[in-house]
Amino acid sequence: MTALRIQFLGGAGTVTGSKTLVEYNSKRILIDCGLFQGLKELRLQNWSEFPVDPKTIDALILTHAHLDHCGYIPVLVKNGFSGPIHCTKPTRELTEIILKDSAKIQVEDAERANRKSYSSHEKAKPLYKPEDVELAMTQFVSHDLSEWVLINNDMKFQFLNSGHILGSAFVDLKVADKKILFSGDIGRSNPMLLYPAKHINETDYLIMESTYGDRVHTCENVKNELLRIIYETTERNGILMIPSFAVERAQELIYLLYLLKEEGRLPEIPIYLDSPMGINSTGVYDHYPTWQNLPKTHFNEMYDDIHFIDNYETSRAVVNDKKPKIVLAGSGMLEGGRILHYLNNHIENPDNTILFCGFQAAGTRGRAILHGEQEIKFFGDYKKVKCHVESITSMSAHGDQQEMLDWMSKFKKAPKKVFLNHGEPHQTDTFRVKIKSTLKWEVVIPQLYESFHLDDE
Ligand SMILES: [Zn+2]
């Protein structure tokens, strides 16, 4: 069998669960191994049998450390996958942090479910545990950008910067005489901390994400908007609470605060990062200066004035303190983490502000507050939302429709076919129409589990 085939095992018709299988000459490799997240029907797919026997997969190539791209790896390993997991060096470090946190949450969720269900004939189990993550980490092999990695005689690949989060990369795969490029997630055209995505001249097949395939980010001045919100809150002697994702968003916010301080515009106010995962991730950023497009002094100084809270006692003291401050804490959508303690204590005070700087998914507390819900439940009690609610919408790590089209328009030759994944159906379809009308490229929207032969083109 020498047919070249790809199959979409996740990230098709949804932004989560990214997994694409490539088969050639009896060899199988998987690009990304993400967790399905969000709606229950999606999450349940994490529990169904994997469509191919993990033992038969020769290698896994990981584009970046986000859970929707790496979160299923421990399950794959637990079920017999024993091949190498290729990624960049920062991705390896960030993935370990993210998977350990994911395992911890799953264990806690299972324990909570078992406490709640008195008639439990079937005990809730975590999808994986910390020891499963430990085992998976032993299979990781990290590489530099632009380093060709041989998988076997027919297959090799290199990672190329995709500008999305620290360590994120395209996978430029060569199978026999065919080239397939996997975008993973693609960053903004001018990322705040990172270098922009590498321009690609040509590929035979492009597997392209479409998260913002139907949208263009608003063009607000993020730094000025942040400063306005800080001023208004400090004038009221209030606390500014910023729910923040631990990777990239927390570091971007800290960088903006640093720039404002350097410009002499930031009022005197203590800034806290109260997030163990945020602190650990910041440590990884600190390890990789050459990945970041920052002046050396900025890189060296940007974290100097931040109070890192790494223990529970300090966190509790800062939570109980009513003095003005800026707090960055997880989780980004208020589904857990220390931000809940801040909100539980300070959401009913109209002097305070909650500022959203990231996407808030349906069904989360974050979305409810953003949509004007008057009361929110924390730790079993309802609290009235009396504080100011603000949002900065343009801080996204994903390129928007125009930014993705700009990147694609730099190709010197049209790919034979583009497969759009990693998007909700309306985003993907809008993007398909746009690509067809502007670039005249052939675009396919794969369904979940759909496979394609790439030989006869
Ligand atoms: Zn991502």
Sign of the CA dihedral 421, 423, 429, 432?
negative
How many residues does this entry show for the chain? 457
3-state secondary structure of 207: strand
Contact 77, 53 (CB under 8 A): no
Distance 294 CA to ligand 1 centre (A): 21
pLDDT of residue 158: 98
DSSP state of 277: H
- Return the structure tokens found at 153: 């005689």
pLDDT in tens, 332-346: 999 889 999 999 999
How many angstroms separate the alpha carbon of residue 273 from the centre of ligand 1?
22
CATH topology (fold) of 5-215+397-453:
Metallo-beta-lactamase; Chain A (3.60.15)
Whether 433 has a pLDDT exceeding 90, the answer reads yes
**From ligand 1's centre to the CA of 233, what distance in Å?**
32
Distance 64 CA to ligand 1 centre (A): 7
CA dist 214 and 318 (Å) reads 41
What does the angle CA 376 – CA 67 – CA 24 come to, to the nearest 5 degrees? 150
Report whether pLDDT(217) > 90: no
Q: What is the pLDDT averaged over residues 285-296?
A: 97
Tell me the CA–centroid distance for residue 359 and ligand 1, in Å. Answer: 12
Cα 67 to ligand 1 centre (Å): 8
pLDDT at residue 74 greater than cutoff 80: yes
Tell me the pLDDT band of 245, cut-offs 50, 70 and 90.
very high
- pLDDT(316) > 90: yes
Mean of per-residue pLDDT scores for the chain: 94
From the CA of 195, how far away is ligand 1's center (Å)?
16
Cβ–Cβ < 8 Å for 306, 269: no
Q: Tens digits of per-residue pLDDT, 43-55?
A: 889 999 999 999 9
Predicted pLDDT of residue 121: 63
pTM score over 0.85: yes
308 Cα–ligand 1 center, Å: 25
39, pLDDT greater than 80: no
Tell how far the Cα of 185 is from the centroid of ligand 1, in angstroms.
Answer: 5
> Could you report the per-residue pLDDT of 55-70, keeping only the tens digit for each?
999 999 999 999 999 9
Task: State residue 118's pLDDT score.
Answer: 58
DSSP state of 415: -
Is residue 124 very low, low, confident or very high in pLDDT (cuts 50, 70, 90)?
confident
Q: Average pLDDT, stretch 92-113?
A: 93
- Residue 341 CA to ligand 1 center (angstroms) comes to 27
Dihedral of alpha carbons 382, 388, 393, 397, sign = negative
Q: How many CB atoms lie within 10 A of CB 100?
A: 17
Q: Which fold has domain 222-391?
A: Rossmann fold (3.40.50)
Kindly give the distance from the C-alpha atom of residue 32 to the centroid of ligand 1, in angstroms, as a whole number: 11
Contact indicator for 260, 298 with CB cutoff of 8 Å: no
- Asked if pLDDT for residue 119 goes beyond 60, the answer is no
Q: Report whether 9 contacts 422 (CB < 8 A).
A: no
Cα(265) to ligand 1 centroid in Å equals 32
> Has residue 122 got a pLDDT over 80?
no
Same topology, domains 5-215+397-453 and 222-391? Answer is: no
Q: Positive or negative, the Cα torsion across 376, 378, 102, 314?
A: positive
Q: How far is CA 324 from CA 231, 237, 238, 352, 353, in A?
A: 11, 5, 5, 9, 11
Distance from Cα 164 to the centre of ligand 1, integer Å: 7
262 pLDDT exceeds 60?
yes
The 3-state DSSP class for residue 434 equals helix
The lowest-confidence range among 120-129, 294-303, 363-372 is: 120-129
What's the CA-to-centroid distance between 26 and ligand 1, angstroms?
Answer: 30
* CA nearest neighbour of 66 among 99, 42, 40, 38: 99
Spell out the domain ranges in the chain.
Answer: 5-215+397-453, 222-391
Q: Give me ligand 1 centre to Cα 184, in Å.
A: 7
End-to-end CA distance of the chain: 18
pLDDT at residue number 196:
98
Ligand 1 centroid to Cα of residue 333, in Å, is 16
Cα 211 to averaged position of ligand 1 atoms, centre (Å): 10
Confidence at 1, pLDDT banded by 50, 70, 90: low
Local confidence band at 93 (pLDDT 50, 70, 90 cut-offs): very high
Residue 240, φ and ψ in degrees, nearest 5: -100, 115
Distance, in Å, from the CA atom of 226 to the CA atom of 266, rounded to the nearest integer, reads 10
Cβ-based neighbours of 78, under 8 Å, separated by 6 or more: 128, 132, 135
Give the DSSP letter string of 135-169. Answer: HHHTTEEEE-TT--EE-SSSEEEEEEE--SSTT-E
Q: How far is the C-alpha of 174 from the C-alpha of 176, rounded, in Å? A: 6
State the average pLDDT over residues 382-390: 98
Q: How far is the CA of 362 from the centre of ligand 1 (A)?
A: 18
What's the 209 CA to ligand 1 centre distance in angstroms?
10
Please check the confidence at residue 156 and state whether its pLDDT lies above 90.
yes
- The residues near 52 (Cβ < 8 Å, ≥ 6 apart) are 9, 21, 28
**Three-class SS of 31-91:** ECCCCCCCCHHHHHHHHCCCCCCHHHCCEEECCCCCHHHHCCHHHHHHCCCCCCEEEEHHH
pLDDT at 456 (0 to 100): 62
pLDDT of residue 359: 81
